Structure 1
Amino acid sequence: IGDFFSFSAALLWVPWLVYRIVITCRFLILLSYSSSTHLVKIHNQPFLFSPGTVIGVVIYTGKETRSVMNTSNPKNKVGLLDLELNQLTKALFLALVALSIVMVTLQGFVGPWYRNLFRFLLLFSYIIPISLRVNLDMGKAAYGWMIMKDDNIPGTVVRTSTIPEELGRLVYLLTDKTGTLTQNEMIFKRLHLGTVSYGTDTMDEIQNHIISSYSQQAPFQSPKVRKTVSSRIHEAVKAIALCHNVTPVYESHAGVNGETEYAEVDQNFSDENRTYQASSPDEVALVQWTESVGLTLVNRDLTSMQLKSPGGQILTYYILQVFPFTSESKRMGIIVRDESTGEITFYMKGADVAMSTIVQYNDWLEEECGNMAREGLRTLVVAKKSLTEEQHQDFENRYNQAKLSIHDRALKVAAVVESLEREMELLCLTGVEDQLQADVRPTLEMLRNAGIKIWMLTGDKLETATCIAKSSHLVSRTQDIHIFRPVISRGEAHLELNAFRRKHDCALVISGDSLEVCLKYYEHEFVELACQCPAVVCCRCSPTQKAHIVKLLQHHTGKRTCAIGDGGNDVSMIQAADCGIGIEGKEGKQASLAADFSITQFKHIGRLLMVHGRNSYKRSAALGQFVMHRGLIISTMQAVFSSVFYFASIPLYQGFLMVGYATIYTMFPVFSLVLDQDVKPEMALLYPELYKDLTKGRSLSFKTFLIWVLISIYQGGILMYGALLLFESEFVHVVAISFTALILTELLMVALTIRTWHWLMVVAEFFSLGCYVASLAFLNEYFDVAFITTVTFLWKVSAITVVSCLPLYILKYLKRKFSPPSYSKLTS
């Protein structure tokens, strides 16, 4: 095979079959080989091929796929808590260096002082919490496991182990609409014919008209009015049943191997095993509706489609040309020939903005489109044009000529099609509803009460987006909505921004085009105004625009953002946000696989943030600060010990004692803090206002860090001075008393930090204490076994431990009594 990016061909010789492969940068077609040649057009380029069966076609592969073109390079996400801990670790490093320099200075720079400096750096190295990273990463893995095991949010998958705490720090939530807030399950709701409108409760009238129009042999005998309405309904329903890209698929009984076999053609056309497949759920909804009123699509192939009338008669239509839907044209068309009459008809349907200039003049289309959009319905305008044989032949000639032209092919083809799209007869306006997901309203209400600002970014039209924002309670009923007028110049943007500035506490609705203009000229001003809004709706947004909005919020506010979506067009937004959540929906798993967290329903986000986000952040903050405290307290004791003994750079504890202190003696109780919780899940969901405190970052700040540093200095000083005051003749007793008191103090401090006890925490406390007591028998080189079994040892250790811990217990009690945190008021 030759160069992939040029048109080349090669023969692959296989003993029983020869294939010819043709490759283009977008197509790979596999044909069985024969001796004669045939002209085939690939990507509108003519090529000579051997005729035969096409074995496979690969279209839009690699970087040409829509999903890849809409996806930006993912960034490495680092949690805000990790960044804060990094800052504190830097402060601890400076403290280590400063303390070592102070010790050498007080020593008087005697002898090789630089050697002593390095000794002190090693002695006080416990100030740097080496085990912090290990403890936090293990904690994050535990949080992820807890999230996935939560029965209240089944199917949730944690795809990252680095940022579970981010769920508790979010200020902005950017959400997609279709498939995220809504179910992406379309239901046909409204048919409007201009003079008459049919809703869900009057569909039986349409069915009666369809049955009568196909049963009457002589329709001219009917009364004139009846005939007019019937024929119009018949034409509209027939147009909807023919103008689409839906294929009926028939599921037959299980095959020999137990596998289900699919066949597109089943001569029985039985309703039980027929399903519809299409590129859009809107299309399927329309065809299912025509089936419900009596006109059923039973078969479709490349050249024809067959409909079944209410009486069971099969009507065949030959497909002469199909013009597929594109995001630029916003419409699709099809030319069909009726087998029975030979009539050629051009049907077209599309968005009202595209169709309003194509159809004949009318005075109701624009108004009714607005009315349906306000009801939250997705609208499509359906039109037709009857063609004579001559008109069709003339079009075919010009269309084929345009497709063969070498220069400006796309423009010429579009021009030929547009020549047909003139003065079309307006048949009807359809309204399809995309129903809201379960519990979307209470979930959005909860998020808003939690202080999270919600932005809805959608590709839908302005009216539909506004209606969904209201019906989902994204915008509360008491709030005003400011619809940002379309702007195309700097002056218009300036005037509109000034008008918006005068509004207070109102939701903003803006289109993608206007947003682009505002960001081009007044980026800072626009973001500043938009961030003050309780809710923002951006409609007609492209995937790259969604990601751009996320980055703008991060840059201008410095707050944590979360993006949630369900489709390939949301991937870049999810990857750009500090925390990405994907929903496994009807649009596939692209968003789910690209996200940090994957959920099955939008309502699960409430528990994910209020409960798991809260717990992850609070636990990590407590765990991180306690690990720092554990290093600071032993470094303080070392500093006191060195100071007493004339600033000698001699270690206080050696060998196994230092290893055991950081591992088996204190590791399990400290790590058990990942099971702690300050508020019960039910309470966190009932009072989402508690979430606001988390976004202020008060659980881990320089203030809380300073408190822990002071606690460490106080306890380290008490433990060391107490042991030195109470030690008798031998130095070994200082080590025994101070180290035992240190272990007991750490276990009691864990108990002081815990807010809700778990049985595993109790086990960890007693297990660690048991390990220490058991290990005393083997630590002969450090401890005098005869001394540590005496009453003297026990009372001295108890006295030192009580003095180091009791004041902190009293302070905690007084604080809880006179200045309780907000959550304790609720739990009491």
Structure 2
Amino acid sequence: NAIRTAKYNLLTFLPLNLYEQFHRMANVYFVFVILLQTFPEISTLPWYTLLFPLSCLLIIRGLRDLIDDIGRHRSDRSINSRPCEILTGRSFRWHKWRDICVGDIVRLRKDSIVPADLLLLCSSEPSSLCYVETADIDGETNLKFRQALLVTHQELGSEESMAAFDGRVTCEEPNSRMHSFTGTLRWRGRAHALDGDRILLRGCRLRNTSLCHGLVLYAGKEPPSECKMQSFPRPFPRNWFDSKIMRNCGKIKRKKTKLDHMMDRLVIVIFLVLLVTSLGLAVASGFWARTFQEKHSYLAALYKHTTPAQQAFLNFWGFTILLSIIIPMSMYITLEFIYLVNSCFINWDLEMYYGAKDIPAEARSTSLSDQLGQIEYIFSDKTGTLTQNIMSFKKCCVNGTIYGNPSTGSGLSWEHPGEHRLDVCDVTLLEAAQKDKDPVLREFLRLLALCHTVMVEDRGDQLVYQAASPDEEALVLAARSLGYVFLARTQDTITIRELGRTRTYEVLAMLDFNSDRKRMSVLVRDPQGTIRLYTKGADTVILNRLQRRGPNETLTERALDRFAEETLRTLCVASREVSEAEFRAWSRRHGEAAGLLQERVRELDRLYEEMEQNLQLLGATAIEDKLQDGVPETIQLLKLGNIKVWVLTGDKQETAMNIGYACRLLTDDMEILEEKELMSDPPFSSHSEILQAYWESNNNLSGSRDTPCSHHLSQQRPGAPCHQRAIIISGDFLDKILHTGEVLKEKKGWPWRWLCCDRAEASQDQGGLVEKAFVDLATSCQAVICCRVTPKQKALMVQLVKKHKKVITLAIGDGANDVNMIKTADIGVGISGLEGLQAVQCSDYALAQFSFLQHLLLVHGRWNYLRICKFLRYFFYKTFAGLLAQVWFAFHSGFTAQPLYEGWFLALYNIFYTAYPVLSVGLLEQDVSAKKSLEFPELYVVGQQDELFNYRVFGVTLLHGVGTSLISFYITLWAFEDHVGTKAVGDYESFSVTVALSALLSVLVEIVLDTKHWTVLSFLMVTASLLLFCLFSFLTQSVDAFRIAPAIFRFPDASWNALTDPYVLLVVLLSLVVNTLPSLTVRAFRAILGRASTQQEIHLKAKRDPEPLVELRSHIPRGSFHRRSSYAFSHQEGYAGLITRGDSLRARAT
């Protein structure tokens, strides 16, 4: 059962890491050049000049990957070493999780985590019920029940019987479907069907259950294909089967930024240009050599061993080595340092420090910081990411009166001996409850105490409620704080204390909740013998079942609207009195329907519907599902930054929608597209005319002409009216989208496929077209909410958007159910929440709060993108400006591979002379402050559109660098050709120094002109560059060094001889002025024309409406424009049956 999320081990680290690193084209290029340098015939530079920096680069990146993987190893070791009890022989013994095998029987205790996928055999609860919390799997916080088979519940009551258990389970092959399971248990000659209600999934937490025992079905790694779908006895070979949660966890992949991919392509382009240039120079050298030999025959002895062609061949490789520094390795080393320091800035940012829990932000990946400034889509989990997982009773409306003024409810509660104090929301409500003069309020509070499926445990002086739903617990606690205390229940009674008086009600029937009914009811007989029906549910269903609609009902509807505006979760509560005769007749038919073998559910629903009529409205409740601090404001800022937020949750649609409104992702003026509006008939697998329009648009682009539904496509240009819309879908609908291609293929039929082979092949591509149509529709919406999705479906949704839109995505979550999504997205953010650390351990960045995203993206992300782009731009510029002079020098040196510059200048140019100013830009550059970045989130669009570094910018940088090198070289050449006299400086060394200094100063001035954020460090960096040039020139060009090693220090006193000549200084000044004038001219031209600043342009651009792709047909019914229901109730169907059967009740004294 051991899991392994780490990428490397002791044997595989070196080969795997090197394999991954050599996926970078630059590394392959550097190795190629190093291999060339080992041949002395063609080498113009020592081989170790590139080997040492490449080794440093590989070691730095390798150590970074090793440190990350050590963290994963520690996490794996911690999880695999968790203790568990495994049946060994005839008793349970403590082992570790990694020791679990398929077929083992495991004992679990209360609050423990399920270590593998288990078949529940029995538990300490009545009828072997087992309550589990699945927040770490699907994000739902309500408890779910699982129940063992009756035969295992009755027969496996002792350790001896479990040791003798020899059942055989045949089950489906391992898969990622979290909500389904199919299998069969064969034992003692009988077969027993198994489904998902019998299974405990790995990652669940056992709640409200003292003990349970389970048979391990899935554990460890993926099985060999020949073992799938086979039944297995116990014991089974170790590590063959995957648990479902592990199936939903994607593989760890090396993430590369968009700039990384672009750099790989640029390296290829530069290398090809370098080869073409080298080839051209080599061919020219061959022609020059032949002409030179013909003119100077007396030097023929020097060339007797080589022909012009051979010399050209050798010069080709010599030029390749000489020009290889055009792709500087120092750039990659410096870039790694910039990434590291910028990650530290994120770690040190106090704006992202959560003081309440002492959790700072953490950049777990150091190579993705620039991509934080290019995010276009955020995929967020709901539970624990947007919300706090805390439900609190905030307001209510009783008989048309609204209660719940926070300013007057501080510290008030109904107090009774033996009960803990609970705050209520309004002093007026508490006083009205204590006076007990309002019969409607009395019935309202009585309903809250009676109509539920909560279990209660008396722990001495404290009542502990065990609720299957956090909503129900909040309502029962609210009733308790107002004096109506739920005390106990049996199979057919429920006992409450009403303002100090204990009353026991007979439970006649419980009408269970389900997602279609959206309500639950309880029929009770009070101590006086009166039968009453108490009902609670969604306003849309309760209001339609009222006996009459009076003023109080109108006031309640207005209160519901008000609660919805405040994004509170609402329920309507109602009741009615039932006569004895009506109840007897209904009870008889109810008993008959419960005994049916067919149509049982349908008949029961019909009877429930019959009973739940002519209700009297009591009021409405409003529960707050507390959001994390700053979530609505953060989403609004992200929207202004052109970042779309999609919510992917395993929770119910109503709950997800309510949170969508609470965090301002959805607004009341939005058009809501739901699944029913995207479901219709063929031709293509249940997609409406809205989706069909997008599908046909893609089909037209694929080559189709004149489709019958082309009138759905908008022909309007920008500025056409387009209202905001949102789309809400479920995981089942997403499955249909992903499997559309298979459905289409099946619907065509074999004869059609044989007759129309070409069309059959086209139909196979329709699945991809429908996928793209759905993505086009979803991305045209302002908000997308996906509910009831599995962890794998979350990742698939991210993958769909990446595949069809080619955009940068970010996924954020806090639980194990978010791990796959976090791994799939370009940037993964883990929330350090209550659901464990799985998400954080697999993330690239860890935050304590969702609201910290605004600072991470809009400030650090934008700054980092700006810094990296400026760094790359100026590194390429300074490299081209300083080193392309080698090419121009070849035209004046007989096209030989003779270097223009001193070897030390070539070695130190990119490392010391020009690196520090560019480094300061990469570390400290800001166009605006952090405050302004948050005030103007529209500035973020620059990164999304790749405006600061793209192929056009690279082309301009290349031309700028070429121009600077041409000016520096030819002005110096022109000046030296005209420089004569007894003290004239016209030698090769002085020429080299003059060209080098001209290029160096031009590069430094250009960086100074474009630096917007000056600090003391920035000034020191520029100063240090000049000082280092002077220092190393003095050291490497000293006469003493020349005497010691004349082959290495070949320019004795060259700089001193040249720079002490005023003529040379004037040449340097002239080159500097000519190189700087174009930049100054462009800046002056912009200032004179009064060109709007980038900030103003982006601000105006962000406010423009996007061009509508599809015009929606007006006849489509729109339910979203009517009064919005704020109903959201987290509850699992089936609890009422458990209670009335007595399955969930322990024997207790009455």
Q: Same fold (TM over 0.5)?
A: yes
CA RMSD of aligned residues (A): 5.5
In the aligned structure 2, how far is the partner of 1:688 from the partner of 1:70? 35
Partner amino acid, structure 2, of 1:26:
D
The match for 1:752 among 1009, 1018, 1024 is: 1009
1:470-489 alpha-carbon deviations (Å, 9 max, x no partner): 66444678x55354553432
Query: Does structure 1 conserve the Cα–Cα contact (< 8 Å) formed by 2:1059 and 2:1065?
Result: no
> Over residues 108-127 of structure 1, what are the superposed CA-to-partner deviations in whole Å (9 max), with x where a residue is unaligned?
26141322211111111112
After TM superposition, give the deviation of residue 267 of structure 1 in Å: 2.5
Alignment partner of 1:285 is 2:474: yes
State the shift of 1:542 in Å.
1.9
Query: Which residue number in structure 1 is paired with residue 625 of structure 2?
Result: 434
8 Å CA contact 1:334, 1:347 repeated in 2 = yes
- Secondary structure of the 2:623 match is strand
1:599 aligned partner? 847
Question: Does structure 1 residue 694 correspond to structure 2 residue 943?
Answer: yes
Local SS of the residue matching 1:187: strand
Structure 2 counterpart of 1:82, which letter? D
Question: Higher mean Cα deviation, 615-624 or 521-530?
Answer: 521-530
Distance in 1, Cα, partners of 2:667 & 2:573: 35
1:581-592 correspondence runs (5 A): 581-585=829-833, 587=835, 589-592=837-840
Counterparts of 2:1013 and 2:397, CA distance in 1: 61
| Residue pair 1:741, 1:798 contacting (<8 A) in 2 also | no
The one-letter code matched in structure 2 to 1:170 is I
Distance 1:301 1:800 in 2: 101
What SS does structure 1 have at the residue aligned with 2:350?
Answer: coil
Counterpart-to-counterpart distance in 1, 2:104 and 2:788: 40
| Residue aligning to 1:447 | 638
Are residues 1:778 and 2:1035 paired? yes
CA distance in 1, matches of 2:86, 2:607: 37
Structure 2, unmatched stretches of 5+, are 2-84, 96-102, 108-115, 130-146, 160-208, 221-241, 288-307, 354-359, 406-424, 694-710, 715-719, 741-768, 977-983, 1043-1048, 1098-1150
Q: 2:952 aligns with which of 700, 703, 711?
A: 703
Answering whether residue 991 of structure 2 is matched by residue 734 of structure 1, we say: yes
Are the counterparts in 1 of residues 822 and 839 from structure 2 also a CA contact under 8 Å?
yes
Q: Identify the residue that residue 1076 of structure 2 maps to in structure 1.
A: 809
Give distance in 1, aligned partners of 2:733 and 2:653. 13
- Report if aligned partners of 1:383, 1:424 keep a CA contact under 8 Å in 2: no
Q: For the Cα contact (< 8 Å) 1:323–1:332, is it kept in 2?
A: yes
The SS at the match of 1:512 is strand
1:766 corresponds in structure 2 to: 1023
Aligned counterpart in structure 1 of residue 392 of structure 2, from 184, 187, 190: 187
Distance in 1, matches of 2:960 and 2:690, equals: 56
CA distance in 1, matches of 2:855, 2:546: 53
Structure 2 counterpart of 1:714, one-letter code: G
The equivalences for 1:334-483 within 5 A come to: 376-380=567-571, 430-457=621-648, 472-474=663-665, 480-483=670-673
Shift, 1:617, TM fit: 0.9
Alpha-carbon contact 2:652-2:788 (below 8 Å) kept: no
Q: Deviations over 1:307-342 (max 9, x none)?
A: 66543x78899999999999899889999999x999
Correspondence for 2:65: none
| Structure 1 alignment gaps of length 5 or more | 2-6, 33-37, 214-221, 248-263, 403-407
**Structure 1 residue 104: Cα displacement:** 0.9
Q: Distance in 1 between matches of 2:389 and 2:92?
A: 47
User: For residues 370 and 628 of structure 2, what CA distance do their matches in structure 1 show?
Assistant: 27
Measured in 2, the distance between the counterparts of 1:71 and 1:572 equals 5
Pairing partner for 1:161 from 352, 359, 366: 366
| Cα gap change, 1:149 to 1:500, in 2 (>3 Å) | farther
Does 2:254 match 1:44? no
Sequence identity percentage: 26
**Native 8 Å contact 1:741 1:797 kept in 2:** no
1:91: how far off?
A: 1.4
| 2:799 is aligned with 1:551 | yes
Q: CA deviation at 1:710?
A: 2.0
1:664 is paired with a residue of what secondary structure?
Answer: helix
1:330-361 residue CA offsets vs partner (Å, 9 max, x unmatched) = 889999999x99999999977789x989x988
2:351 aligned residue (140, 147, 152):
152
Alignment-derived partner of residue 103 in structure 1: 281
In 2, the alpha carbon distance for the partners of 1:787 and 1:108 equals 32
Q: Secondary structure at the match of 1:663?
A: helix
The question of whether the paired residues in 1 share the 8 Å contact of 2:447 and 2:534 is answered with no
Q: Is the 8 A contact 1:323 1:334 kept in 2?
A: yes
Q: Deviations over 1:249-272 (max 9, x none)?
A: xxxxxxxxxxxxxxx865233xxx
Matched AA of 2:1009: L
1:538 lines up with 2:785 in the alignment: yes
Tell me, yes or no, if structure 1 residue 243 matches structure 2 residue 453.
yes
TM-score normalised per structure 1: 0.75
* Greater CA drift, 451-460 or 601-610: 451-460
User: Deviation at 1:97?
Assistant: 0.4
SS of equivalent to 2:895: coil
* Residue 8 (structure 1) shift: 10
Output the CA distance in 2 between the equivalents of 1:149 and 1:280.
40
- Give the aligned partner of residue 256 of structure 1: none
1:509 counterpart (684, 709, 726):
726
The equivalent residue for 1:259 is none
Look up the SS of the partner of 2:724 in the other structure.
Answer: strand
Distance of 1:822 and 1:146 partners within structure 2: 31
Equivalent runs, 1:597-746 vs 2, <5 Å: 597-653=845-901, 655-674=903-922, 675-722=924-971, 724=973, 725-726=975-976, 728=985, 730-746=987-1003
Structure-2 change in CA distance of 1:797 and 1:697 (3 Å): farther
- The whole-number CA distance in structure 2 between the counterparts of 1:198 and 1:415 is 38
In 2, are the aligned partners of 1:480 and 1:507 still within 8 Å (CA)?
A: yes
Aligned mate of 1:295, from 476, 479, 484: 484
Q: Distance in 1 between matches of 2:647 and 2:157?
A: 52
Distance in 1 (CA, whole Å) between partners of 2:396 and 2:830 is 35
Structure 1 residue 232 displacement after superposition: 2.5
Kindly indicate whether the alpha-carbon contact (under 8 Å) linking 1:168 and 1:610 is maintained by their aligned counterparts in 2. Answer: yes
Give the superposition deviation at 1:495. 3.7
Compare 77-86 and 506-515 and name the one that shifted more. Answer: 506-515
Task: Determine the structure 1 residue equivalent to 2:194.
Answer: none
Give the superposition deviation at 1:106: 0.8
Distance 1:329 1:71 in 2: 35
Alignment-mate amino acid for residue 268 of structure 1: D
Deviates more, 1:709-718 or 1:785-794: 785-794
1:580 aligns to 2:658 (yes or no): no
Matched residues in 2 for 1:486 and 1:653: separation? 71
Contact 1:574 1:581 in 2 (8 A): yes
User: Judging changes above 3 Å, is the alpha-carbon distance between structure 1 residues 289 and 72 closer, same or farther for their aligned structure 2 residues?
Assistant: farther
Give the one of 443, 448, 463 matched to 1:232.
443
Q: Distance in 1 between matches of 2:513 and 2:331?
A: 56
Aligned pairs (5 A) from 1:125-140:
125-140=324-339
Identify if the C-alpha distance between structure 1 residues 92 and 320 changes in structure 2 by more than 3 Å, giving closer, same or farther: farther
Give the aligned length. 766
2:926 is paired with a residue of what secondary structure? coil
Determine the C-alpha separation between the residues in 2 that align with 1:682 and 1:81.
Answer: 27
Q: For 1:211 and 1:523, locate their aligned partners in 2 and report how far apart those are by CA, in whole Å.
A: 60
Cα distance between partner residues in 1 of 2:477 and 2:860: 42
Q: Displacement, 1:144?
A: 1.6
Separation of aligned partners in 1, 2:570 and 2:219: 34
Deviation (angstroms), 1:466: 5.9
Range with bigger deviation, 625-634 or 301-310: 301-310
Letter in 1 for 2:929: K
- The change in CA–CA distance for 1:672 and 1:796 in structure 2 (over 3 A counts) is farther
**446 and 622 in structure 1: CA distance in 2 versus 1, 3 angstrom threshold:** same
Residue in 2 that maps onto 1:200: 404
Match of 1:79 among 257, 264, 268: 257
Moved more, 683-692 or 414-423: 414-423
Native 8 Å contact 1:171 1:561 kept in 2: yes
CA distance in 1, matches of 2:285, 2:909: 29
